[in-house]
A and B are shown apart, each in its own frame.
Chain A
Amino acid sequence: MATQDRNRIALLQGTLDLLILRTLIFGQQHGQGIARAIQRQSEDVLLVDHGTLYPALQRLEQKGWIKAEWGTSTNNRRARFYTLTRSGRKQLTRETSEWRKLTLAIGRIVGPET
């Protein structure tokens, strides 16, 4: 684990929301699943602080972008499952395009890998 941690990057502020919404596009998921999914999909580069994940989920729920209900996980544990709402989908589209523009712009400035 120690070697893994060195390659990991802490999330940029504001990107967690995007990642959560993006993860939920494949269907409902519980918090731990979301954290794992982000980690896995980023090939263990992005580290999700589990402590900040839940307040973030809470915030998204308040904004109405996701909704939650209790259910049972694949290994028979009770967990709170989150689903993307219609407005959450719209928000995802918006944030994705913004993100693309941002990375493109930053990429131009930083320049290609030497």
Chain B
Amino acid sequence: MWWWRKRQDFKAEIEAHLQLEADELHSEGLSSAEAQAAAQRVFGNRTSAEERFYESSHWMFGQHFVRDLRFAARMLVKDAKFSVLGVLALGIGIGVSTGIFALLGPMFQPHGSNVRSIEEVRNPASYVGLDRGRFRNFSFPEYRYFQDHSSALEEISAESAPYNVVLNAISEGGDAEQAVAAFESAGSMSVLGMQPALGRSFSKEEEQPGAPLVAILSNQFWRRRFGGDAGVLGKTIVLNAHVVRIVGVADPKFHADDASAIFLPLGLQPLVTGQGDWLRDSQTKWLMASARLRRGVSMTQAQAETYVLGAGFDGNGNPGTAQSTEDRVMVSPGGGDLQTALMAGAAKTVINVIVAMILMIACSNLANLLLARAAIRQREIGVRLSLGASRSRLVCQLLTESLLLSMGGGAVGLVFSVWLIRAISWLSPALVNLPSGAEVHLGQGALLYALVLSLATGFAFGLGPALAATKTNVARALHADGLSGTPSTPSHKMWSPRNLLVVAPLSVSLMLLIGATGLARALQNARTEPKFDASRVIGVTFRLKAQGYDESKSLQFQNTLRQRITTIPGVVSVALASGFPLPWLPPFGRCALSIDGSEISAGAAVCHAVSAGYFETLALPIVRGRAFSPSDRAGSEPAAIVNQELARTYWPGQEPIGKRIRGGDTFFEVVGVAANVQDAHGHFSFLLLPTIYVPAAQGNLLSRSSDSGGDRAASYQL
């Protein structure tokens, strides 16, 4: 093919031509030396012919590119101030973009407790989540009611939130350990289209009270603790002092993204948790429900049916009264966590847009610099145009310069992004939300992102100035005007690109500023840091009831424990409480209350029985009234401290001190208001619940769920 024709070949042809011509001239009577000279003369400029041949070959592009690159590098080095400024400006833009891009992944990784990724569901089309009320949860009778009455939904299944259990040593000589368990209905796995990897799933009978003591191991736990041994079926483990038989191993994808180790049938809840029988309790909403749409049933139909069914259930199986909107049962496609996923997706988009804006500011700065430079170089460009350089060649050259600049910016940006990631992970680890020890790395994706970003910005923001610069009036550029460095045609138009380049970054900056202010306000309202000083607090959990301690033995243990811990050097204070201050596991530690005649169901409030010194130990400020004193003992007037959230919700604008709250049959008088304790887990859907604290000594007065002799968390401060 012609384009493979070598230069040598062309040279040889010209050589042959000269020979032939000389031969002919010789035969016409010239001497051979004269003939040679004449042939050369007639041919004319040999080099020019060769050049023209050379230029017609396809290799020009590459050749030009290399030359342009060299030239661009020279020009950039020559104007070091400009180059450094441009590279830095772009570096910051690209660095921020790339850093945030790399962070976005782990930031939105759902590794919470009850976050189920949609990918987990094999056939997402018909899978729906059921949410009821503010806490999206169902009571057991409610779940059974829907299961019995729904015709639009099938395979309705339910599971509890993760629940910590104590596991006796699995292997001989090992230690007891704490493990995460969850109560599951019979269809929990099959509704997701999953099968047990070994053995069986739970039966319907095992959902009933008095279920046999059986368990299914999570696939991860099975591999980790039993080495993937198929002989595990039929073996027993001791869980909260109950001997439980293993009947199955779950699908590898079942609860793959959380720490759940053991699954128990719903029917074992009363026995295992020791916090009351929630199977017969329609007030305790402890189950998350999901289902499949029956074939041919649309989402709307299913929603309509659950509205009706939800209204028909008031907890006792009787037709319900008017149903508040908040209490409606919502059917959401892909499971309830779709909402969380959508929220995270929206947040991601917002962040991306913000980052794009920052990049745009950096880019417009670069474009401005390039434009200014082009104006200065007007004369150079004019000279080259008049010497015959084509406009496309010049544009190519200027573009090469801006690309080189943007690649430099990209390289600097990568360094910046690494720093940015370190800074952010160091400043607010909760935001990055990484398991400890793990680090964010710039992966291949981020590198590619930076590369594409650099190329795109270099191209997009170099092209305009390059085109503008080469639109030079040669005569004027070479004239005295051109010397002054002013543009040959000063633009007075309002919407000229030059003005836009000033206006756009300014407006974008303004937008960002306003957005940032709004965000800061929003963050102030939803601070994710705990409001108590957790840095020097150590928490220890004892599951005494689960270990078989009775009431008197528990009290004795607690007293001894307290005394012993106090004697440890460095311990400042010790407190005992029925639960930890961060109540993010629904609904354990919750109780039903009654305030001014309005009932708060068990899922909607948290109750903690706390010992003296609890608030001091956690440095949780009492913002109003008083803390508990030794005089709040059994027999004295029942006292309670509520959190700000409860006061705000139930007594807006009123003085909470002196109000009365009924828990069980006892009226507690509010003596103080404690600051809200907020979730430090960085979860998107954390809940700030109304909380009531009662003195441990009076804790028995709360008839439900706060079992004074039961589980105690001790916190001590170093």
Residues of A within 8 A of B (CB): 1, 30-33, 35-36, 49-52, 54-55, 58-59, 61-62, 73, 75, 77-80
Contact = CB atoms under 8 A, between A and B. Distances in A.
Contacts of A61: 2
Among A51, A62, A77, A80, find the residue whose CB has the most chain B CB atoms closer than 10 A: A51
A78 B24 contact: no
Interface in B23-82: 23-24, 38, 42-46, 48-49, 52-53, 56
B592 to A, nearest CB: 90
5 contacts: A31-B13, A32-B17, A50-B42, A54-B10, A58-B2
A51 B20 contact: no
B44 A30 contact: no
Contacts of B52: 55, 58
Given A32-B20, A51-B45, 7 more contacts: A1-B38, A49-B44, A51-B44, A54-B17, A58-B10, A61-B2, A79-B20
A49 B42 CA distance: 7
Contacts of A32: 16-17, 20-21, 24
Contacts of B43: 50-51
Contact of A55 (B3, B19, B20, B49): B49
B585 interface: no
Contacts, number: 66
Contacts of B48: 51
Contacts of A55: 49, 52-53, 56
A64 to B, nearest CB: 9
Interface residues on B, range: 20 to 34
B211 interface: no
B190 to A, nearest CB: 69
A104 to B, nearest CB: 33
A61 B38 CA distance: 28
Q: Majority SS of interface residues in chain B? A: helix
Among A1, A54, A62, find the residue whose CB has the most chain B CB atoms closer than 10 A: A54
A99 to B, nearest CB: 25
Among B12, B14, B17, B24, find the residue whose CB has the most chain A CB atoms closer than 10 A: B17
Contacts of B2: 58, 61-62
Nearest to A64: B2
A35 B43 CA distance: 10
A79 B13 CA distance: 6
A78 B42 CA distance: 20
Nearest to B45: A51
A51 B19 contact: no
B19 A58 contact: no
B40 to A, nearest CB: 10
A51 B46 contact: yes
Contact of A54 (B19, B23, B49): B49
Contact of A80 (B13, B42, B46): B13
Nearest to B43: A50
Contacts of B9: 80
Interface string B331-357: 000000000000000000000000000
Nearest to A48: B42
Contacts of B49: 51-52, 54-55
Nearest to A50: B43
| CB-CB nearest 3 A-B residue pairs | A51-B44, A32-B20, A50-B43
Contacts of A33: 20
A80 B16 CA distance: 8
Nearest to B27: A75
Contacts of B3: 62
